[in-house]
Structure 1
Amino acid sequence: MTSNYYLDESGNSGDLATKKSGSKFGGQPIFSLACVGLNDLAHANEFIKLLKTIYGLESDELKSEDLYFKQPEVILDVAKYIFENRIPIIVEVVDKRYCVSTAIVGHQIIPPYDSPPDDDGLIQAVRNEISDFLSFNMSPACYAAFYKSCMEPSEENLLESMEALKCFLESDDGAFEYSKFAVDNINETIDTCLMFKRQFGEGDSVKKFIPLPDDSNNGDSIALLPHIHCQFNILARLNKYHLKDLADVVMHHDVQDQFGQSIRSCIRTLKNAKFPGGVPEVLTADFILKDEPAFRFVKSEESLGVQFADLLAGFVSRYINGCFYKNLDVLDIYHKTFRYIVSYNRPMSPLGVNFVLPPSKQALVFKKFNL
């Protein structure tokens, strides 16, 4: 039996490593990608017809940006319908600043080349603490220098990026617990980079300290696309949910060439990946692909499944940003809707919401919803 999944994203999925984005990302700091498993379209269509009659909806297409503020009760009813009909949902929500911060920490502050064994998870915990701190405090100069090191890779730009980080961390006079540790590690990273330069040449050594580029359709190198990381996770979580049997899975997405290019690239990467022994198991995902899902591209106005995914992705992005970042006093209807969505979250289950947020923000969400 074919299992149909519908996907849509919210929050401008553009490259995070560009001068255009800056550190505020065009006013869209949160990105989300939602995947909804919807097979009984006839039943869902009857439900939506009734919903449109009840709420006087005249538009052919349900969109989160139209309904979130003006008619949140519509999204609540859709979330309730999804929950009560046990429709599987997989959602990724990403803080873009945290995405950049983790890339900086993982490449220029505590890269794998200088990292000691981490059997007890202490090093990763420190990485998380530093990434959290940078997400909320890093100066625009650090962002700009890091972007430049990504988009114009050279030894000069890489060293300028790390020196900007050192200058920023030293300026807080030790207020952050790991400032000195981070500065010492950056100095070690600089030494390692110079050693690699002698061994591999400048070009290859520099590439070891910036994120691997993702390839766009036109062949340009672009870096830090949040939807790429989300697609990897969606695929791995679907793979876990279907016990590696994706042969009868069909993924539907709004007509968009770049999505098709990028997700096929994700599949090739996962199918060819060699995972070293000793890597901790991800209990909610399986990154070892045996089968490939099929893809179909549809017009969102003609696909109720894509509209459901749009409502979920748009709601999660706006709710997380408003409630946990802007600290808005939101109406209870928004909390009820979100509770339906995160009710899928269970230990070891691939369904529900994966929060790629700074640990401090993630803790707030988890505490409020007892996750």
Structure 2
Amino acid sequence: MTQADYVAPSRYFLDESGTSGDLSKVGAGLDFKRQPIFVLAAVGVDDEGGLGESLAAIRDRRFPQAVELKSSKGHATPAVILQLLDAIDTLRGGVLLEVMDKRFTLAATMINTLILRPLSPADHESKALWFRAQLAEQLHETAPTGVYDAFIQACREPGEASLKAAFRAVLEWVPPETPRESPAGAIRFFTLDSLKDFRKAGVSKPDVQRRFLPLPDPGHTGKDVWILPHLSAFTNLYARINKLRCGRLAGVQIVHDDQPYFADILRSSKLAVEGLAEDEAAIKLSRADYRFVEAGDLTFTPSTGSSGVQAADLIAGFAMRHARDTLAGVTPSRESRMVFRRLASTFDGTPGFGMNLMLSNRDVLRCGLLPSRDPQLSPFGAG
């Protein structure tokens, strides 16, 4: 079957693994409450009943005492995921994943706000995004925790003093003699330029201070939520579904695991990203399309009521643990590596399915995959 013959599913079931809230609450030493990796998985399949039958068969064979297969119960083994992927293939479905290293995500956010804010449509082109990714790579690999701490403090308590401290932390990290043509030298150059703009615009003005920080979202308690990995993962995954469906989202169902804390944020972000249709600054990527002309329907349901969400839970949990453990120095089994690589691949090259990696190139390699060095592909790895 060729890509042209394939009809993408109209139902997508989402669940996540590795949630620890927004990245302004990183924990001691940037340990992110011992959850450094976040994964959002989507299982695209029209026949949820058939998927439920397959899950029941897998459960009866692998965990006959379980009422429901759950990642948190240790059910997301390589053997279970392999059988599940076979079942999804049989149902002519597919899997999409967003795999995010939270420290790298924080580094990318710093580059795109404090250091090198996008100011024109050209800044959203693939080559510009790829360049920013190289700067984020340098920041992730070499910046001390104090650089991140200063930026996080500015997010949590925006003000003239906290912003100046964040700029100063970056400039103290990169020595003045650093060659301009190096990634670190480029970070220093753009930081100085950004600091100049900050001073020129008026350092005491709250609206100016906000320009150099990520926009917060109001949480369910009324408190601001900063740099929520779930949010950016969801919007990119939604754009990938849009690409996969060639813009035909009318009638598409997106069923997310019940999210009492972030449901309203995800709903509002979905509406916001759909509003980019007429925006020249809409991000253009080879495997995601942010130019929405139609809208899908987003609903939330407990995993107990949806076989599709249960499948997404298992896949997200497996991918999170594989990446987390591998990057912590644990050698994965051969079967685990094989399943992770299968999740990373796409269906006959179809844009959309597969894995988008928000990881440094070094960590992509450590996970057993090849990082993308093509600026026309995903700016953050092989996905």
Provide the TM-score with structure 2 as the length reference.
0.84
Aligned to 2:4: none
Give, in whole Å, the separation in 1 of the partners of 2:356 and 2:10.
22
Q: What amino acid is the match of 1:294? A: D
Aligned partner (choices 357, 366, 370) of residue 369 of structure 2: 366
Is 1:100 the counterpart of 2:106? The answer is: yes
Q: Distance in 2 between matches of 1:82 and 1:231?
A: 21
Q: Which residue does 2:151 correspond to in 1?
A: 146
1:265 Cα deviation from its structure 2 partner:
0.9
Cα distance change of structure 1 residues 72 and 161 upon mapping to structure 2, 3 Å threshold: same
Find the counterpart in structure 2 of residue 58 from structure 1: 65
Matched ranges for 1:112-151 at <5 A: 112=118, 124-151=129-156
Between the aligned partners of 1:30 and 1:143, the Cα distance in structure 2 is: 17
Match of 1:206 among 204, 209, 213: 209
**What aligned pairs does 1:190-269 form with structure 2 within 5 A after superposition?**
190-197=195-202, 202-269=205-272
SS at match of 2:288: coil
- Paired residue for 2:292, among 289, 292, 295? 289
Unaligned 5+ residue runs, structure 2?
A: 1-7, 373-381
C-alpha displacement at 1:282, in angstroms?
Answer: 1.3
Residue 68 of structure 1, CA deviation = 5.8
What is the distance in 2 between the residues matched to 1:19 and 1:329? Answer: 26
Q: Compared with structure 1, are the counterparts of its residues 182 and 314 closer, same or farther at alpha carbon in structure 2 (3 Å cutoff)?
A: same
For 2:124 and 2:79, locate their aligned partners in 1 and report how far apart those are by CA, in whole Å: 48
1:149 alignment partner, SS class: helix
Q: SS where residue 284 of structure 2 aligns?
A: coil
Separation in structure 2 between the aligned mates of residue 362 and residue 2 of structure 1, nearest angstrom: 29
Shift of 1:166: 1.2
- Contact (CA 8 Å) 2:40, 2:99: kept in 1 or not? yes
Q: Deviations over 1:57-96 (max 9, x none)?
A: 3222212232368x43222221232234331221111111
Q: State the Cα distance separating 1:225 from its structure 2 match.
A: 0.2
8 A Cα contact 2:9 2:44, kept in partner: no
Aligned counterpart in structure 2 of residue 178 of structure 1, from 164, 183, 191: 183
Which shows bigger deviation, 351-360 or 20-29?
Answer: 20-29
How far apart are 1:231 and its partner, in Å? Answer: 1.1
1:76–1:333 CA contact under 8 A, matched in 2: no
* Whole-angstrom CA distance in 2 between matches of 1:144 and 1:272: 33
The DSSP-based 3-state class of the residue aligned with 1:227 is helix
> Does the 8 Å CA contact 1:247/1:292 hold for their aligned counterparts?
yes
Q: 1:64 to 1:204 in 2, by over 3 A?
A: same
The separation in 2 between residues aligned to 1:215 and 1:346, in whole angstroms, is 40
Where do 1:156-175 residues align within 5 Å?
Answer: 156-170=161-175
Q: Is the 8 A contact 1:8 1:310 kept in 2?
A: yes
Q: How many residues align?
A: 366
Q: Deviations over 1:256-294 (max 9, x none)?
A: 233431221122212323665476631212212233222
In 2, the alpha carbon distance for the partners of 1:299 and 1:96 equals 26
Given that residues 29 and 96 in structure 1 are in contact (C-alpha distance below 8 angstroms), is that contact kept between their aligned partners in structure 2? yes
Equivalent position of 2:378 in the other structure: none
Other-structure match for 2:85: 79
- Report the aligned-residue RMSD: 3.2
Identity of aligned residues (%): 27
The change in CA–CA distance for 1:83 and 1:171 in structure 2 (over 3 A counts) is: farther
Question: Which is bigger in relative contact order (C-alpha 8 A, separation at least 6)?
Answer: 1
Deviation at 1:304, TM superposition (A): 1.3
Structure 1 residue runs of 5 or longer lacking an equivalent are none
Output the amino acid matched with 1:57.
Answer: P
Indicate if the aligned counterparts of 1:72 and 1:334 stay in contact, CA closer than 8 A: yes
